[in-house]
Amino acid sequence: MALPFLYKTSVKKKKESLDSTLELLYKKEQDNILEPEEMDENFFYKHITTHFHSLFCESSIICVPHSKSIRGLVLTKDIIEAHCFQPSPYFCGQFIATKQKQKIIALDFPVITTILGFKEQRTVHVMAEETVYLKNKKIRVFCIDRLLEGEAPKYYHKSAITIPPVRNAKTDLEFLNMFPENMEALYELQSAVQEFIDSYVYIKGYNKNTVERIQHMYMKTYRTILQKNKLLQDSCRTPSEHDQFLELVENVVMSFLHKKIWVQTLQPLLQSQDSYLDSVCFAYSHVVLSQYSLRYPLSEMHVSCFQNAIHEFQKIDTQAATPLEKLAVLKSTLDLISAAVHDYVTHFGHSTSGKIMIY
């Protein structure tokens, strides 16, 4: 009598599991359905009117992706600019991006098609239209079902947002400015930075005190933001995520201080040491690898093999301002050197395969 009982229990569990799976699939499908939303509640619209107000005022057409279609996406300046347009002076029904003039779209209501300047041709649907009047100017705002360019993260958790993994002062600041909850912390940071700039004087032997002041600034901003921003709080669930966000805040602070600390103070003081290092680099640039006792075939590598690494390392002065940005350039340079060596050795192995090498 035990067997039928066990058999029935097994079937019941299987049915319950199937019902649970179907329920999850239905819920997922419902989550993906784009319901009409109030424009004032749209995340993209609020962001552009708050942080890119002048661009909003200059444009005649604003394409606003539905909030659900951009969940987890960091709204950068390039993404915002790719959705703001003015009428084309050449063709009726076409519009040119207000800032990125190479981008052109065509409007055939309720369809918008990307024509030129975008990474791929894309057709989006207009879900709703509203008109905004600024004095005598009329701005048409279209709520569209997806981005004209770019993609939101495929895997997005409601309780978290993706923290940008690559350090760049400009995009890091844009990321922090996305959240209204951060405004108070950023205002306090601005005051602290100004106070530092007004009072900072380089005194040899007191570098530790300067470092501590800077650390106090970005640590306070980091803690304040996480205390008041639940979304970012939930995004920092592991030590590595906390470190990544702390680095982002530090990078923003160091970008604010770059001109005062480096350009105006340390660069003139360290000019003689920089000149010495330049002379050493110039001297070593004429030494071939065979003189470094490197094993064959590495000793035969020419400087041309490292052009990508050389160009990358040059960014340390031209594009990287903060310590973290310079460190990232250094790491990518080392990766390119390793890749160049690997490619050379691999190519050398293929070209000598089947031959007898005598040493």
Quick: pLDDT tens for 112-135.
999 999 999 999 999 999 999 988
- pLDDT attached to residue 357: 38
pLDDT of residue 253: 96
Q: Kindly tell me the sign of the dihedral angle through the C-alpha atoms of 186, 190, 192, 196.
A: positive
Domain membership of residue 219 (yes or no) is: yes
Same domain, 102 and 177: no
The whole-angstrom separation of Cα 74 and Cα 168 is 13
Give the tens place of pLDDT for each residue, 191-211: 999 999 999 988 888 888 888
Residue at 317 is within a domain: yes
DSSP structural state of residue 294: P
279 in any annotated domain: no
Bridge partners for 142 per DSSP? 63, 129
pLDDT value at 48 more than 70 = yes
Domain end, chosen from 267, 297, 328, is at 267
- Based on the fold, state whether residues 119 and 45 are members of the same structural domain: yes
Same domain membership, residue 221 and residue 298: no
Contact indicator for 98, 83 with CB cutoff of 8 Å:
no
Q: Specify the number of domains making up the chain.
A: 3
Q: Which residue has the higher pLDDT, 292 or 342?
A: 342
State the helix-helix crossing angle for 323-352 and 239-258, rounded to 10 degrees.
Answer: 110
Query: How far, in Å, CA of 311 to CA of 313, rounded?
Result: 6
Inter-CA distances, 297 with 294, 345, 346, Å: 8, 7, 11
Judge whether 276 lies within some domain.
no
- Report if residue 17 sits inside a domain: no
Is 33 inside any structural domain?
no
340 domain residue, yes or no = yes
Mean pLDDT of the chain: 84
What's the CA gap between 128 and 146, in Å, rounded? 13
Identify whether 195 is part of a domain.
yes
CATH number of the domain where residue 195 is located? 1.10.246
Q: Which residues pair with 64 in a beta bridge?
A: 143
Residues 186 and 237 placed together within one structural domain of the fold:
yes
CA distance 81 to 168: 19
Q: Are residues 111 and 57 in the same domain?
A: yes
Same domain, 137 and 220: no
Q: Which residue has the higher pLDDT, 141 or 31?
A: 141
Q: Is there a single domain that holds both residue 46 and residue 138?
A: yes
Residues 139 and 47 in one domain: yes
**Residue 92, C-beta contacts closer than 8 angstroms, at least 6 positions apart:** none
**Domain coverage including residue 90:** 39-144
pLDDT at 158 over 80: no
> Which one of 235, 267, 299 terminates a domain?
267
**Residue 17: which pLDDT band, with cuts at 50, 70 and 90?**
low
Return d(Cα 164, Cα 324) in angstroms, integer.
14
Residues 61 and 133 in one domain: yes
Q: Is 24 helix (H, G, I), strand (E, B) or coil?
A: helix
For residues 20 and 27, give the distance between their C-alpha atoms in angstroms, rounded to a whole number. Answer: 10
Q: How many C-beta neighbours within 10 Å does residue 96 have?
A: 22
- Which range has the worst mean pLDDT, 215-219, 300-304, 351-355? 351-355
Same domain, 228 and 183: yes
Q: Which alpha helices (DSSP H) does the chain contain, by range?
A: 2-32, 43-51, 53-58, 77-81, 169-177, 183-199, 207-228, 230-235, 239-258, 267-269, 271-284, 307-313, 315-318, 323-352
pLDDT digits (tens, 9 = 90+) for 247-284: 999 999 999 999 998 888 888 888 899 899 989 988 88
Residue 228 has pLDDT above 70, yes or no: yes
**pLDDT of the residue at 19:** 56
Note the pLDDT of residue 86.
96
Segment 93-113 shows an average pLDDT of: 95
Indicate whether 25 pLDDT > 60: no
